[in-house]
């Protein structure tokens, strides 16, 4: 089976960034990317907790000793691409179809799932 990679990032309000990748079973086609983008807020943002994607906040907390006022709820979609040999060392998250289904199931992003949600 072919593999692909979902790339995403978390960028806090100070523009500090943490990058993430999900290794997926399946071949990425434009239709998969289109379904994911359709579900995103503004065509790029998502709540990682809502779609079962590992959050990246903690990567920045290593430098700040925990959450800061710059943290927020949104992660950013970067791309969906074919996996390279370098990508294949990681654990497989699941199938591309499963990830697309998670995004497609979102009718409204639930910001309260994030620890950075403020009323």
Tens digit of each residue's pLDDT (9 = 90 or more) over 86-96:
999 989 999 99
pTM of the model: 0.93
> Can you list the residues of the chain whose pLDDT is less than 70?
1, 119
Per-residue model confidence (pLDDT) at position 87: 93
Domain count, the chain: 1
| 119 lies in some domain | no
The size of the chain, in residues, is 119
Would you state the pLDDT for residue 1?
63
Host domain of residue 108? 3-113
Residue 96 lies in a domain: yes
Q: Do residues 67 and 12 lie in contact, with contact meaning Cβ atoms separated by under 8 Å? A: no
Q: Cα 41 vs. chain centroid, distance in angstroms?
A: 12
Residue 118 lies in a domain: no
């Amino acid at each position: 089976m072919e593999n692909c990679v979902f790339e995403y990032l978390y960028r806090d309000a100070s523009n500090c960034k943490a990058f993430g990748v999900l290794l997926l079973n399946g071949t990425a086609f434009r239709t998969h990317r289109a379904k994911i983008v359709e579900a995103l807020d503004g065509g790029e943002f998502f709540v990682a907790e809502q779609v079962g994607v590992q959050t990246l906040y903690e990567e920045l907390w290593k430098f700040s000793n925990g959450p800061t006022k710059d943290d927020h709820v949104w992660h950013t979609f970067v791309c969906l691409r074919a996996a390279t040999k370098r990508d294949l060392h990681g654990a497989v998250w699941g199938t591309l179809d499963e990830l697309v289904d998670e995004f497609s199931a979102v009718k409204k992003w639930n910001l309260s799932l994030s620890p950075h949600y403020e009323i």
